[in-house]
Amino acid sequence: MVKYVKKCPECNGINLFWNKDRGEVICKDCGLVLEEKMVDFGQEWRDFSDEGDESRARAGAPSTYTQFDQGLGTEVGRKADIYQLDRKSKNKFFRLRKWQYRISTAIERNLKLALAELKRVSSYLKLPKSVEEEAAKIYTLAVQRGLVRGRSMESVVAGALYAACRRHEVPRTLDELSEASSIEKKEVGRTYRFITRELGINILPSNPADYIPRFASALKLSAETQSRSIEIIEKAQKAELTSGRGPTGIAAAGLYVSALINGEKRTQREVADVAGVTEVTIRNRYKELLERLDLEKEIKKTKKKRKD
């Protein structure tokens, strides 16, 4: 596999490799396999590596996005390469190398800092490693596409983490991301939307049920209450009470009702605080749930029981 100094037309990533045996060029960032004929363009595709280097078997650490350069470095040429060049080419060569150096060091410095921040926020939120990796990947793509320009590095990190959480179905609220990264909630949401749109990823609305375990444990509710609230949410989804609504509000209302039914009452205030919505939103969802899912009987039942 030979590394090219050329950007991927799909994701604009710089990690393109030419597999000589197969005659394919593969982008390590988006997995795109470029058409063979692109290789034939010859001069467009500059190969700065020397053969011997690459044909040697290489066994290294697995490539990872949380390392700032994925464990792979790019360099324009070596000293040995230039002996065969005339003066003009030499100048060109040095110019190129200077630029390559400037660009790559700037990007690498940024990535180093950003990934440190990313790790900090991620561990603060106790996110799984897989999410951290995904976020690092998203951030790396964002940097390569120049999406960080005009935005603070921290907010892009927060946005990338938020996106990664959603893709792995371990959603955190914007409030939590905001608190962990000390970026305003609005800003996190804004950059999240921006980078997901620009990178063309994701866009599947998060499932309210994904929030239940975390909210429930924060409120010290029993496992029965948890599973009951998930049932309620599933019913609500079938009754089309969930589309267009904020998932956290639905999760909060479901949890509130099931707590009532199981005689583990929490105030609307408590649930609202944990879920990061207001009491009003809980009330609205709660009302809809009662109307459409006739849960009133069940609540009355538990009320009677408590009297006994």
Partner DNA sequence: AAGACGAAAGTGGTTGA
Partner DNA sequence: TCAACAACTTTCGTCTT
Nearer to DNA, 77 or 249 (CB): 249
Instruction: Give the shortest CB-278-to-DNA separation in angstroms.
Output: 4
Show the CA angle centred on residue 158, arms to residues 156 and 161, nearest 5°: 110
Nearer to DNA, 234 or 270 (CB): 270
Q: What amino acid is encoded at 16 in this protein?
A: L
Nearer to DNA, 28 or 190 (CB): 190
Query: Largest Cα–Cα distance of the chain, in whole Å?
Result: 98
Instruction: Give the shortest CB-64-to-DNA separation in angstroms.
Output: 32
Instruction: Give the shortest CB-157-to-DNA separation in angstroms.
Output: 18
Instruction: Give the shortest CB-236-to-DNA separation in angstroms.
Output: 12
Residue 6 CA to residue 257 CA, distance in Å, equals 57
Residue 7 CA to residue 16 CA, distance in Å, equals 7
- Here the tokens at position 227 are 């599973």
R_g (Cα) of the chain, nearest Å:
26
Instruction: Give the shortest CB-189-to-DNA separation in angstroms.
Output: 5
- The CA-atom distances, in angstroms, between 204 and each of 137, 166, 294, 302 are 19, 8, 30, 37
Residue 229 CA to residue 189 CA, distance in Å, equals 27
Nearer to DNA, 49 or 281 (CB): 281
Q: Give the 3-state secondary structure of residue 2.
A: strand
Instruction: Give the shortest CB-280-to-DNA separation in angstroms.
Output: 4
Q: Give the 3-state secondary structure of residue 24.
A: strand
Nearer to DNA, 189 or 254 (CB): 189
Q: What amino acid is encoded at 22 in this protein?
A: R
Residue 15 and residue 72 in contact, taking contact as beta carbons nearer than 8 Å: yes
Contacts with DNA, residue ranges (CB under 7 A): 186, 189-190, 193, 244-246, 249, 265, 267-269, 276-281, 283-287
Nearer to DNA, 107 or 290 (CB): 290
Residue 148 CA to residue 144 CA, distance in Å, equals 9
Nearest one of 267, 237, 265 to 251, comparing CA atoms: 237
Nearer to DNA, 28 or 283 (CB): 283
Instruction: Give the shortest CB-207-to-DNA separation in angstroms.
Output: 14
